[in-house]
Amino acid sequence: MIRTCQMCGQKNRQSAAHLHREMRCARCKTPFGPIAEPIDADQTLFDDVLANAPLPVLVDFWAEWCGPCHLAAPEVAKVAREMAGKALVLKVNTDRHPDVSSRFGVRGIPNFVVIRGGKAVFQQAGVVSAAEMQRWLEKAAA
């Protein structure tokens, strides 16, 4: 994944295995905290994170036209901020990446899947609170 430094604009590569760690910009050495926002994932990034991330991953399957998905988005962002360094949050657009959503039998959106060690450990469709999503991730991490 490429992360852009807010201070100097340098593009820095960070592997999926290290997205939960702090890093420094290669040019100016400004520290980056762990990822604290949902990551828009295509199939390649999705597979890389699932294969290499040592943390539980919350996947939000959504679409641009979906009203409930837009209602869930602030809750998903809140989970990403509060669980930074303890979990990762991916967003997969089901219209752009139907192959990824079909792997998890996604029939309705928003649909949330918690993955640990490359395997789905929990799945639920529908809008839920950030607190509920956080409980899923904490349970998966235990």
Rounded to whole angstroms, how far apart are CA atoms 41 and 48? 10
Triad 42, 44, 45: Cα angle to 5°: 70
Q: Is the peptide bond before 110 cis (omega within 30 degrees of 0)?
A: yes
Q: Which domains does the chain have, with CATH numbers?
A: 35-141 (3.40.30.10)
Q: What is the pTM of this model?
A: 0.89
Q: Is 33 exposed, middle or buried (0-12, 13-18, 19+ CB in 10 A)?
A: exposed
Mean pLDDT in consecutive groups of 10 residues from the start of the chain, 142 residues: 88 83 89 90 92 93 97 97 95 96 95 95 96 97 88
Are 105 and 89 contacting, i.e. CB atoms less than 8 angstroms apart? Answer: no
Q: Which positions are annotated as active-site residues?
A: 66, 69
Are 58 and 40 contacting, i.e. CB atoms less than 8 angstroms apart? Answer: no
**Tell me, what's the pLDDT at 22?**
84
What residue type is assigned to position 86 of the chain? K
Neighbours of 97 (CB within 10 A): 16
